Structure 1
Amino acid sequence: MFVIYEGFELLDLAGPMSVFTKADELAGGGRYQIVTASPEGGAVSCSAGVPVGSQTCSELQLTQHDTVLVTGAGADVLRRAMRHRAILDLMCDAAQQAERYGSICSGTFILGAAGLLTGKRVSTHWLATGQLSTLYPQADTSPDLLYVVDGRMWTSAGVSTGIDMAMAMAEADLGGALAARVARHLVMYARRPGHQSQFSSFLEAQQAGNQCFGTLIDWIENHLGERILVEDLAEVAGMSTRTFHRKFTAAMQITPARYLEERKMEWAKRLLEAGHSVKTVTGKSGFSSEAAFRTAFTERFGIPPSLHAKLNQYGD
């Protein structure tokens, strides 16, 4: 069940809804029934102006098999939703009766307004973590995690992370093999576990290097499976190695060699999560030996690659 209201963020609803709908289809039906609820019921306009049908919050009867998630919104809309008694009452009921309850993105503030965050570890959009901590100091706000599970409460960070959280719920309900099929059908780039940071090193690099090294950064992403030297990067950038090292470090706040190592490690992590063996990933990441790869991966992530794969990949 998704709780919506006038001006809610559409992706908070559409992304997770697509996950559950596809999971139900692949499971043969009868596993998930999607319900949207709002204070007044009927058509509710999202922030993009698209109307979404809904039932009235007060007429719903929750069961111990339900999952109830409240969507987020922009600041002004969210403040109004935080004062809406019908929404708060429904979330309080969910906390007492539902199998799972929680929020997507800034919907965490609504949980706080309902008095549900005391002693809870939660997540929300990174831009709002400071404000959430100020308003609800009794909650343990995680500043950069994709989603957090604390007992029966699930909270996710920025909009697209609702998809990651829904995938984790589907995996818990239906198993990793089916969750992997859902991910493939939705053409998800990678499975992102909740402990992963909200911040993408690649996105930050694109932003930082957009003026001088945007083309080079894209080139690196397309050649991560190869043995690349800093001299190769300098050649692609059309500079001498010395000049390239100086300008790249100044623009990116990281040396070329270190940046290349970081991207290769992230690439290797994604391959492991996709089900590739350590031996295969060693070759695809451009390492000379499995021992060198295992050492580098463990130093970077604090866990051996084989164990990371076991903990984080979907089944086939």
Structure 2
Amino acid sequence: MSETHTIGFLVFEGAKMLDIAGPSEVFAEANLSGTDYRISMLTADGGGVQTSIGVRISADESAFSESRWDTVLIAGGEPFPSKPVPAELASAAEHLAQRAGRLASICTGAFVLGAAGLLDGRRSTTHWKHAGELARRYPKSTVEPDLIFVRDREIYSSAGVTAGIDLALSLLEEDHGSNLARTVARSLVVYMQRAGGQSQFSVALDGPSPRTPALRAVIDQVKADPTAEYSLESLARIALVSPRHLTRLFHENLETTPGRYVELIRFELAKAHLDAGHSVTMAAELAGFGSSESLRRVFVHRLGMSPGRYQRRFLSTDPARAESSSTSVALTTVSAVRQEVVDEHS
């Protein structure tokens, strides 16, 4: 008989249901193989709450009880980061941290950890859309926007929604080894360790345009004509500033260099063309990359996977449709066919 492992879930009004159900299923599936995970729902006031999909969850006890927990998981939800974390919820997280062997957040649950001061001096992550806000609100934490989950001593944080399942599998592996974690992953038909980080799901160019006219002029020009040749000097001429001043503006406003930002614009355009079903060769050409090999290098660097692999993952939820769509587009030219074969083995 396996030793009992107690898990408390801190939930609140509007908590995302999948943040609760996904990790819970990992531990429930492990119990079928002989573990003894016991899950309890905790709320700040001990009362029930309504989740993001309208289903009500009853609390097993108050988060302020004197119970001790092996693991506490904090769900995410739409209230954060658009609203401040209520003081009572932050206090509940702080109280639980003193009574738990390890404390973990799922998605925007990281904002609850931050409000409780539990991310200070630690690395953390959250959903890619909200990583910038987490870093702004809690500057004492080093936010890792591309990681699926982060462990910093006894505090864990994970990215959006299904990343809670990745985190739960990792916790299971810590408790009972990789063989059981792998068995549970196979049973739930999920990856034991997914390839790439959050960048494969994000839209890096989303968000407000820079306020500086010089930067807006450069970005608008590159988006309008991504296939043109852009040197630092030519970009400075577009911005009507010196190359040195343009470099400083990019560092101060976008925390990157002009050249890297041009690459990012082309990368996002290439992803959009791949999502639309274009071949790797065509996507590279339309996005302004010199060759499909150049595009491949950028994809591997940013996502840890080739363009072809990215496309097969995101073109369709139906493998047969994804394969047929990719093939039909690839057949438009002999060179596209050859490139698809090369990329298939990359």
Per the shorter chain, which TM-score range?
Answer: 0.5 to 0.7
Match of 1:69 in 2: 73
Instruction: Indicate the structure whose relative CO is greater, using CA pairs within 8 Å and at least 6 residues apart.
Output: 1
> 1:265 & 1:83 partners in 2: Cα distance?
43
1:48 to 49, 53, 56: 53
Q: Residue 66 of structure 1: SS of its match in structure 2?
A: strand
TM-score (norm: length of structure 2): 0.60
State the TM-score, normalized to the length of structure 1.
0.65
Contact 2:46–2:63 at 8 Å: present in 1 too? no
Equivalent positions of 1:1-316 (< 5 A) are 1-26=8-33, 28-30=34-36, 32-58=37-63, 60-63=65-68, 66-75=70-79, 79=83, 82-85=85-88, 87-189=89-191, 191-192=193-194, 196-200=196-200, 208-209=272-273, 214-216=276-278, 245=281, 247-254=282-289, 255-259=291-295, 262=300, 263-264=305-306
Cα deviation 1:54-84 (Å, max 9, x = unaligned): 2232463332x5211111111468636x114
**Partners of 1:146 and 1:10 in 2: CA distance:** 19
Q: In the aligned structure 2, how far is the partner of 1:266 from the partner of 1:150?
A: 34
The CA distance in 2 between the partners of 1:24 and 1:206, in whole Å, is 44
Deviations along 1:132-169, whole A, 9 cap, x unmatched?
11111111111211111000000001111111111100
User: CA offset at residue 29 of structure 1?
Assistant: 3.8
Distance in 2 of aligned mates of 1:109 and 1:201: 21
Q: Please provide the CA RMSD for this pair.
A: 3.3
CA–CA distance in structure 2, aligned partners of residues 109 and 181 of structure 1: 32
The number of equivalent residue pairs is 237
Residues in 2 aligned to 1:264 and 1:123: alpha-carbon distance in whole angstroms: 25
Instruction: Mark the CA change 1:47 to 1:16 in structure 2 (over 3 Å): closer, same or farther.
Output: same
| Letter paired with 1:69 | L
Q: Which position in structure 2 is the counterpart of 1:241?
A: none
Structure 1 runs (4+) deviating above 3 angstroms are 40-43, 58-62, 75-78, 201-207, 213-217, 250-255, 257-267
1:227 corresponds to which residue?
none
Change (3 A) 1:264 1:208: closer
**2:81, 2:111 within 8 Å by CA — same for their partners in 1?**
no
CA contact under 8 A between 1:121 and 1:150: conserved in structure 2? yes
Question: Hey, what's the Cα distance between the residues in 1 that align with 2:81 and 2:134?
Answer: 16
Task: Name the amino acid aligned to 1:248.
Answer: A
Q: Per-residue displacement from partner, 1:239-265 (whole Å, max 9, x unpaired)?
A: xxxxxx5x4324345433445675559
CA distance in 2, matches of 1:251, 1:146: 30
Tell me how far 1:266 sits from its aligned partner: 8.8
The CA deviation at 1:127 is 1.4
In 1, the alpha carbon distance for the partners of 2:61 and 2:87 equals 13
**Cα distance in 1 for residues equivalent to 2:202 and 2:12:** 34
Q: Which range is displaced more, 34-43 or 4-13? A: 34-43
> Does the residue aligned with 2:38 lie in a helix, a strand or coil?
coil
Q: Which amino acid aligns with 1:256?
A: S
Q: CA deviation digits over 1:188-209, x for unaligned, max 9?
A: 145238xx42122799789502
Larger C-alpha radius of gyration, 1 or 2?
2
With over 3 angstroms needed to count, the CA separation of the structure-2 counterparts of 1:15 and 1:156, relative to structure 1, is same
Partner of 2:312: none
Provide structure 1 residue ranges, at least 5 long, that are not aligned to the other structure: 218-232, 234-244, 268-285, 288-292, 297-316
- Aligned mates of 1:78, 1:60 — CA distance in 2: 29
The amino acid across from 1:13 in the alignment is I
- Could you list the runs of 5+ residues in structure 2 that have no partner in the other structure? 1-7, 204-267, 310-340
Q: What is the CA–CA distance in structure 2 between the aligned matches of 1:184 and 1:197, rounded to whole Å?
A: 21
SS at match of 1:35: strand
CA distance in 1, matches of 2:67, 2:194: 30
